[in-house]
Amino acid sequence: MKVSPAGRDLIASFEQGPGGGPALVSYLCPAGVWTIGYGHTKNVKPGQTLPSKVAADMLLDEDVAAYAREVERLIGPAPTSQHEFDALVSLAFNIGIGALAGSTPLRLHRQGKKQEAAHSFGLWNKATVNGQLVPMAGLTRRRAAETALYLTPVSDGAIERVAPMPQEVKPPAGAAASKSVWTNVGVATGGVALAASNIQPAIDAVNSAVSTAKSAQTTWASLKDLLGSFANGHVYTVLITAAITVGAIYLIRRVFKRVRSGEISA
């Protein structure tokens, strides 16, 4: 899990430097630890500086992410809302991962005793001053804020860590067809019938074209037979037939002309 923006803001609000906001110059915190930025203490030395607030914010984000990873490891499989997680990370940021690992809040949280865990945050309101554990007003306020955050109901936006629900990608085997399926079948059948009626004119046109082609093929066959007669040596037969035909036409025309001129009565 990751810390939410609200959790990060809570941590930043309690980790400000002496002048408010991030400390761009290292300083000694009330517990006598050299600190810089937003509560960063690792390898910090006296006189150390940060170039800008942006650098301090980046350092805070790195620290929060590192604490979040460790807190998630310590929580294990215990169901944890976003608000609960943020509160535990804020506590760890302040007291350290080692202290959180043996703390009452973590133990009760892992046992699912959320109310008891929340109220046990207040046990960690002391710091060592001059060798003695002393309650600190700032720590008391911080523990109260963390307790309130921890107890924020899930319905307010916190997200419970749960296993992802498997998604069904196909219907169970043997499932009956629904009404919508049969409706779609009917629509498809009607579409096929409509397509068949629309394609019939095209089929008729094709049949007509086939008939025309057959007729043309017959005419070509006759012409081929006639030409074949020349090719087969029947030239004289063809010429005689043509001469008789032309002569007959000529005689018929002469007869009609004489009938029209009155030389021959009909």
Residues annotated catalytic, as ranges? 15, 29
Integer CA distances (angstroms), 193 to 25, 190, 214, in order:
84, 5, 31
Question: What pairing do the DSSP bridges indicate for beta strands 126-129 and 132-135?
Answer: antiparallel
Question: What pairing do the DSSP bridges indicate for beta strands 126-129 and 34-37?
Answer: unpaired
Q: Classify each residue of 44-81 as buried b or exposed e, where b means 16 or more C-beta atoms within 10 Å of its C-beta.
A: eeeebebeeeeebbebbeebbeebbebbbebbeeeebb
- C-alpha 13/C-alpha 152 separation (Å) is 19
Q: Classify each residue of 213-222 as buried b or exposed e, where b means 16 or more C-beta atoms within 10 Å of its C-beta.
A: eeeeeeeeee
| 162 conformational bin, left if phi > 0, alpha if psi -120 to 50, beta if neither | beta
Q: Classify each residue of 145-183 as buried b or exposed e, where b means 16 or more C-beta atoms within 10 Å of its C-beta.
A: bbbebbbbeeeeebeeeeeeeeeeeeeeeeeeeeeeeee
